[in-house]
Chain A
Amino acid sequence: MVNVELKNVVKKYGDLIAINNLSFKVNSGELMVLLGPPGAGKSSTLKMVAGIEEVTSGEILIDNESVTNFDPADRDVAMAFETYALYPHLSVFENIAFPLRAPKRSRLFSEEVVKEKVLEVAQFLEIDMLLERKPKELSGGQRQRVALGRCLIRDPKVFLLDEPIAHLDAKLRHRLRRELKKWQQRKGVTTLYTTTDYLEAFSVADRIVILNKGILQQVGSWEEIYNRPANTFVGTIVSDPPMNYFNGKVVVDGGKMLMQVKGTSFYLPSPIEEKVKQMNIGEVVLGVFPSKILMSRDENFIPGSGTIVDGIAKFTELRGSRKIVFVQTPQDLSFTIQLPAETKVQVGEHVRCFFGENEVQVFDKQSKINLFWV
């Protein structure tokens, strides 16, 4: 089995620092997703692991061996390129078969076996009826699948999949993200997978690395990330609509610590109370995911320990199986809530919202770091 490790990797393009001191480890057989907005440095990271881009400093290990100075060919990785990188003059079949025809592998695969393998991969990716076509005769989504096929046909130590399903239509994307995960588990190949879509990340990943501007933000399973986002950037990127944020002052009222903002007082979770006290923090940013706010039209609704906020549903929006409600209090505090689509809410209606004490994240105002992690 094969693990992959990055140690203090830095990548500069001229003056631009694309990757800044990045370290993380991918365990054997694990599917690690790099999640981040465009420009975060995901492709650069994959290319450095592949050896197409040199590291400016730092080290890359595959199978506990430093490959930092290895040629791409000697690293035994397979990569699906974000930009496809197809061979324009070769048919889909020959594009996918290309890695098997390389002199060092061609002895291992007879023409029969090559055909069989190409067909298997092509059927998996639903491009088996396109095998005779040239790349120019394909749509973007079809090209992307050819690029993916050329990668999957190999049995490498590591798969590097750079936004491998970003350009497919929604249905196929949903099927493939399940199937890709299965394929990867069946082969047991350690995988680095990038995406800008947190839902895709959550559905395929064993663990996730969140990157922003070349800097690592958080590593963890999706539960770990969703339960305790490391900072406000993570809170924003792993939720749509993004996390609600409130800036406010910390006050102590009757032994309980509260944060006050626009006439509303939120209770802080007890582990945070201690830290705020110790560090003598006066102002914090409170964050709550829209999916973690409960709502009721019942005036007596009090589900547990937390904060009640009464407001008015300003407008609602249906998004697939979810309903997004924008709420505003008389003192102008506003936030979004995510509810099941069938929830009945009238625009202009009074609603009672409940912020559970432990669903609330508290961030330092300056550094935007989750105080839970401090």
Chain B
Amino acid sequence: MPAFILTAGILIPFGYSVVMSFTDFNLTSGTSNFIGFGNYIKLAKDPEFWNALKVTILFTIGAVAIEVGIGFVSAYLLNLGMRGQKIWRTLFLLPVMLPPAVAAIMWKLMMAPIQGVFNYLLQLVGLPGSQWLGGSSSALFSVILIDAYVFMPFAGMIFLAGVQNLPKEPYEAAAVDGVSSWFTFRRLTIPLLKPVILIVLLFRIMDCLKQFDIVYAATKGGPASATMTISVQAYYHSFRWTNMGYAFAHLVVLWAIVYVLSYFLVGQWRKAVSEVHGY
């Protein structure tokens, strides 16, 4: 029974969205007619949708790459056992404790072209400032930086747990056999951490594909449509332009993408776990 409620709780909103995506439901006029695949056909022809898809994918690739890359290196450094270990770890975790939208606003201030800290620092070392969030070419990169700031520690902490749980003995064996540390890293650490890496990828990719709050707080999708992710686009269609049916079609497509990717990643994760742990 609880399983049923849970399943229903998940399925009803989802089913509702799917049904709505086949209508021309409009909040202003109040009409709701079944129009078949009308919204999806419109979507396929809509350059704004294709732009949003491109932005979403670029955002995801950029943010995940930075979070996983820097997260991994930080985990490695934190694991070395430096002095003041506890303080480092606490500092490291600070960004995760901020609500993402708040972090976005904070960064927006620091990225301000005139009075922002970043341009001031760039100027100090003699570099030209940037338009950051305001520039059509720099905006996407800027929101990626904010997302990386907020979620890199999450990735780092999971990697740290993974690194700390690595079995000690295979490393001793490799050390005795005179294997270089790079070889050990490649042939031992990476394969042994594969399940953890895949978990981080899974969570971060799904989260980034659905990205809404940071982008909305920082740029509202602009300038022009430089940071318009699918979620933000759908939001505009629904509440700004009251075209609910069309907005739901966006979300259903997004869901499909997330579903296919996570299905694939979970499969890979299972395989990796059974390879490393044997179950």
Q: Give Cα A99–Cα B173 distance, bound, in whole angstroms.
A: 9
Residues of A near B180 (CB, < 8 A) are 73, 102-104
A132 at the binding interface (Cβ < 8 Å): no
B47 at the binding interface (Cβ < 8 Å): no
Q: Tell me if A78 and B172 are in contact (CB < 8 A).
A: no
Contact of B183 among A72, A74, A102, A134 (CB under 8 A): A102
B94 at the binding interface (Cβ < 8 Å): no
User: Which residue of chain A lies nearest to B191 when distances are taken between CB atoms in the complex?
Assistant: A89
Q: Give Cα A89–Cα B277 distance, bound, in whole angstroms.
A: 8
Residues of B near A86 (CB, < 8 A) are 170, 173
In residues 80-135 of chain B, which contact A (Cβ within 8 Å)? Answer: none
* A contacts with B, residue count (CB < 8 A): 34
B167 at the binding interface (Cβ < 8 Å): yes
Q: Give Cα A73–Cα B171 distance, bound, in whole angstroms.
A: 12
B192 at the binding interface (Cβ < 8 Å): yes
User: Which residue of chain A lies nearest to B182 when distances are taken between CB atoms in the complex?
Assistant: A103
Residues of A near B173 (CB, < 8 A) are 79, 81, 85-87, 150
Contact mask A68-87 → B, CB, 8 Å, 1/0? 00011111111101011111
CB within 8 Å: A-B pair count: 84
User: Which residue of chain A lies nearest to B167 when distances are taken between CB atoms in the complex?
Assistant: A88
Residues of A near B277 (CB, < 8 A) are 88, 136
Residues of B near A84 (CB, < 8 A) are 169
Closest CB in chain A relative to B250 CB, distance in Å: 41
Residues of A near B175 (CB, < 8 A) are 51-52, 71-73
The verdict on A85 contacting B169 (CB below 8 Å), with A50-B176, A77-B176, A102-B178 known, is yes
Q: Tell me if A76 and B276 are in contact (CB < 8 A).
A: no
Residues of A within 8 A of B (CB): 47, 50-52, 71-79, 81, 83-89, 98-99, 101-105, 134-137, 150, 154
Further 13 A-B residue pairs, CB within 8 A, beyond A81-B169, A88-B277, A136-B278? A71-B175, A73-B177, A73-B178, A84-B169, A87-B187, A89-B192, A89-B275, A89-B276, A98-B174, A98-B177, A98-B179, A101-B187, A102-B179
* 23 A-B residue pairs with CB within 8 Å: A52-B172, A71-B175, A73-B175, A73-B178, A78-B176, A79-B173, A81-B169, A81-B172, A84-B169, A86-B170, A87-B187, A87-B188, A88-B170, A89-B276, A98-B179, A98-B187, A99-B177, A102-B179, A103-B179, A103-B180, A105-B178, A134-B278, A135-B278
